[in-house]
Amino acid sequence: MKFTARIGVTLSILLAAVAMVGPWLVGDPTVASGSDFLASPSGSHLLGTDPFGRDVLARTVHGARVSLIVALVSTVVALMVGVALGVLAGGHHNPVARALSHFINFALAVPRVILLLVLVAATGRLGPWALALMLGLTGWPTIARLARGEALRLEHSGFVTASEALGASLPRRLLREILPGALPAGLVAATLGIADALLLEAGLSYLGIGIRPPHPSWGGMILEAQPYLAQAPWLLFGPAVALVMATVAATLLGEALRARLNPVQR
């Protein structure tokens, strides 16, 4: 395996381990520890404490679980729905495909943030799984459009036309040639989408439909760190580094996957 792919896999495994096992190893992320308020990193608090006395390391680790679930689930949902619909819509001269195309364009026409606001406001408080589903169900149109574009391109390309000439049926064409061709572009978009989802979660916390306090999430922690950036930069350290690690892991993993799926290109 290539070096970068190895890094991607290692990081992903590390993050998954932290998310699953970590919370038992660190302290309580919501309790004020004695009298250490806004304390800089030290022996007892490896990443310092926040203005309310909570241990930053503990919060980062607990936040890993929630932030990763939301980011992963929403991306997977968006990817599955988006690629499926996009590839189907790229099939040519088919009334179903045309209708799907219009539907994708229509879905793209509605601004995502406002849709999210209404959906969540109308349904009330959401847990991480429901929030992830909601994010995924509003994020698929972008991926669908991309996948449709790729499917159209592939559809007119040499080997698909050849396969059509050989008598392959539409579903077979879609599955064997177009889907694998469209998938890489979708995957790259999806891996970048994980970072997007994480950052979107931060924005949603700002609008009131993110993870409820006092349970920590990386997005929420970054937002809370903003006013204290000058006097307590360590507040940003934990969640920011974690966020970067998660994005890097997702991207490298995505690249490794794409290399696997496309044997022509190393």
Partner 1 sequence: MLITRMRHAGVALCLLALAPAVLSAQQGTLTMGIRQDATVPVPYVGPATAGNALVTDQLFLRLTGLGTSGSTVGDDVMVPELARRWFRQDSLTVDFEIDPRARWHDGTPVTARDVVFGWESLRKPVLGVTQAPFALIRSVEALDQRTVRFRFHRRSSEQVYVAGFLVQPLPAHLLAAIPADSLTTSEYARAPIGNGPYRFVRREPGQFVELRADSSFFLGKPGIARLIFRLVPTSDAQVNLILSGELDVMTDAPASALPQLSRSTTHRILHSPGSFITYLLFNSRSPADTGTPHPILSDARVREALTLALDRNRIASTSFGPGAETPRSLRSQAWYWLGGGKDAGRADRDRAMRLLREAGWRDTDGDGILDRNGKQLALTVIYPVQSPLFAGIGVQVEQMWRAIGVAVQLEPIDGPVWLQQRRAGRFDVDIAGAEQDPSPSSLSQSWSCASAAEAGSSNVGRWCDPECDRLRDAAPASADPVVGFRVALERMAEWAPMVPIAPTNRVVVHRRYDNVTVRTSRAWTALWRWQIRPGAALPRDR
Partner 2 sequence: MGSWAVRRTAGAVLLTLLGSATLVLLVQLLPGEPLAAIIGDRALDPVTEAALRERWGVGRPPLTVLLDFFANAVRGDLGVSLSEQRPVAEVLLGRLGPTLLLGGATLLINFTLGTWLGLWSALRRDTAGAKLLTGITLVSYAMPGFVIGLLLVWLLAINWPLFPAAGYSDPLLASDASAWTRTGDVLRHLALPLATMVLATIAVPIRMQRSAALETRDATWVRAAIARGVTPSRVAWRHIWRPALGPVVTLLGLWLPMLVSGAIFVESVFAWPGLGSLIASAAASRDIPLVIGAGVLLVAVVQLGSLLADIVNRLLDPAQRNR
DSSP-derived letter for residue 49 is B
Phi, psi of 40 (to 5 degrees): -75, 160
Angle at the Cα of 6 (from 2 to 11), degrees rounded to 5? 155
Residue 192's nearest CA partner among 256, 259, 248 is 248
262 binds partner 2 (CB under 8 A): yes
Q: Which of residues 34, 111, 127, 213 is near partner 1 by CB under 8 A?
A: 213
If contact means CB under 5 to 8 A according to the sort of partner, which of partner 2, partner 1, none does residue 243 touch? partner 2
Cα–Cα distance for residue pair 50/24, rounded to 1 Å: 20
As a whole number of angstroms, the distance between CA 76 and CA 103 comes to: 21
Is 29 within 8 Å of 216 (Cβ atoms)? yes
* Residue 38: CB minimum distance to partner 1, A: 9
Binds partner 2 by CB under 8 A, chosen from 2, 6, 156, 260: 156
What's the DSSP call for residue 177?
I
Q: Is 152 in the site for partner 2 (CB under 8 A)?
A: yes
Place of tokens 């408080």: 125
Per-residue string for binding with partner 1, 122-151, x by CB under 8 A? ---x--------------------------
Among positions 47, 85, 146, 178, the unique one binding partner 2 when judged by CB under 8 A: 146
How is residue 109 written in tokens? 């026409």
Nearest C-alpha neighbor of 16 from the set 60, 58, 56, 65: 65
Cβ atoms of 132 and 69 closer than 8 Å: yes
Q: Which does 51 bind (CB under 5 to 8 A by kind): partner 1, partner 2, none?
A: partner 1
Q: Please choose, out of 4-12, 143-151, 222-230, 258-266, the segment that lies near partner 1 by the rule CB under 8 A.
A: 222-230
Q: From partner 2, partner 1, none, which one binds at residue 115 (CB under 5 to 8 Å depending on kind)?
A: partner 2
Helix-, strand-, coil-residue percentages of the chain, each rounded to 5: 75, 0, 25
- Minimum CB separation of residue 38 from partner 2 in Å reads 18
Chain residues that interact with partner 1, rule: CB under 8 A? 30-32, 37, 51-53, 121, 125, 207-209, 212-214, 223-224, 226-228, 230-231
Binding site for partner 2 (CB under 8 A): 102, 105-106, 108-115, 117-118, 121-122, 142, 145-146, 149-150, 152-153, 156-157, 184-185, 188-189, 192, 195, 199, 202-203, 207, 222, 226, 229-230, 236, 240, 243-244, 246-248, 251, 258, 262, 264-266
